């Protein structure tokens, strides 16, 4: 392996909250987000808010979390129109706080 300490940490885990605005409700946005998160091996949650946005939390290896952030910013579900994606409360975590990525009602 290359550099013992770096490998043991892996690339580190992060947790980040997100909120996506635009036409993101009623277009299977949560289902697609869950599918993409699972494909990337991430955990967390997603839900619709009362003010028409979709919000949640992502946790996992930094590089994978970045991929989902990019997906939330630009792609989303086929019928969605994302106007903006805000990310907040990013922090390094020692261990994942969720077992899977779930859709919260």
Q: Is 48 considered catalytic here? A: yes
3-state secondary structure 48-103: ECCCCCEEEEEEEEHHHHHHHHHHHHHCCCCCCEEEEEEEEEEEEECCCCCCCEEE
Please choose, from the candidates 68, 61, 103, 101, the residue with its C-alpha nearest in 3D space to the C-alpha of residue 85: 68
The residue from 30, 39, 66, 73 that is catalytic is 30
Given 47, 48, 64, 73, which residue is catalytic? 48
Instruction: Please say if 30 is a catalytic residue.
Output: yes
Active site residues: 30, 48
């Amino acid at each position: 392996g290359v550099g013992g300490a770096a490998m043991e940490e892996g690339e580190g885990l992060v947790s980040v909250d997100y909120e996506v605005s635009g036409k993101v409700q009623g277009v299977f946005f949560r289902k697609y987000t869950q599918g993409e998160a699972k494909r990337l091996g991430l955990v967390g949650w997603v839900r619709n808010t009362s003010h028409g946005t979709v919000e949640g939390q992502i946790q996992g290896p930094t590089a994978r979390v970045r991929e989902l952030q990019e997906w939330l910013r630009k792609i989303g579900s086929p019928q969605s129109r994302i106007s903006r994606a805000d990310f907040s409360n990013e922090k390094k975590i020692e261990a994942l706080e969720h077992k899977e990525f779930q859709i919260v009602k």
